[in-house]
Chain A
Amino acid sequence: MKVSAIITLKKDVLDPQGKVIHQALDGMGFENINEVRQGKYFEIDVNENDPSKAKAIVEDMCKKLLANLVIENFKIIGTQ
């Protein structure tokens, strides 16, 4: 089963990349942008057929490795 997770910087943590991408988009003429935040996307194929169990495994991975909980949040966005 494939589990998808996204990792983003916590709300109050500075996102230097997002900020600069925002400025560059502004410069290219994309108007009406309020904010750009960037993150990471993972697709992990786990050897487990029960969605809630698969989710729990990936959640554990996020906590222990994939996300840096000091500055990042994670969210499991789907299983298939």
Chain B
Amino acid sequence: MKSSVITFPGSNCDRDMDVALKKFGFNNKMVWHDDNELPKSDLVVLPGGFSYGDYLRCGSMASKSRIMQSVIDFAKSGGLIMGICNGFQILVETGLVPGVLLRNKYLEFICKNVFVKLDNKENAYFKNINKDILEFHIAHNEGNYFCTKDQLKEIEDNNQIAIYYCNSEGKIQDQYNPNGSIKNIAGIFNKKKNVLGMMPHPERMIDQSLSGEDGSIFFKNLINNIK
């Protein structure tokens, strides 16, 4: 299975994502933001980091990079695109997924483990996964998901919410919401569910010695689904 990770100026989880994808069997290529075309891929990842320093609005300038036209075309043709953290912010800025990511409610960067509940498994990312609650890791300053009422209705009607922040038992409540996201949303899909944007970093949880191993479950399942 072939994957591509795009490096923007200021990306800093690109190597971590490369390590994770390779560990679970992807043949991964790093792609420079200024390239014209994506290599042939089964999965494209926009990694975390601070593309363009998070200046102006997070992800805004990266969304105008040369490679993004090719990424948008890939999305339109049904290709799988996953944006993690800053990658999610870039997806939002391109309009590939709806909504915006605002500054965290408590105005502070937050780095910690969180639990997320899967909402729907009818997609290439979570199909066949044998857990409903995963322990993931977040590290962001602007992860406060927001959209208009109308958008929210549309998102809900289309089952586009991918994961919610919750507690270890899967309760989705305000006190388990780390950043003020509307409805505890931690990740969403586009309508066709081939594009996934999420704040948590599964690539930081791929080894028992690290923050946990639920990232391994996610990646193993993902490659099996793509095969």
Contact = CB atoms under 8 A, between A and B. Distances in A.
Interface in A8-64: 16-17, 20-21, 24, 27-28, 38
A20 B61 CA distance: 9
Nearest to B64: A28
B52 interface: yes
B55 A20 contact: yes
B107 interface: no
Contacts of A21: 55-56, 61
Interface residues of B, number: 6
Interface string B45-73: 00000001101100001001000000000
Contacts of B53: 16-17, 20
Contacts of B61: 20-21, 24
B227 to A, nearest CB: 38
A17 B52 CA distance: 9
Nearest to B54: A17
Given A20-B52, A20-B53, A38-B56, 17 more contacts: A16-B53, A16-B55, A17-B53, A17-B55, A17-B56, A20-B55, A20-B56, A20-B61, A21-B55, A21-B56, A21-B61, A24-B52, A24-B56, A24-B61, A24-B64, A27-B64, A28-B64
16 contacts: A16-B53, A16-B55, A17-B55, A17-B56, A20-B52, A20-B55, A20-B56, A21-B56, A21-B61, A24-B52, A24-B56, A24-B61, A24-B64, A27-B64, A28-B64, A38-B56
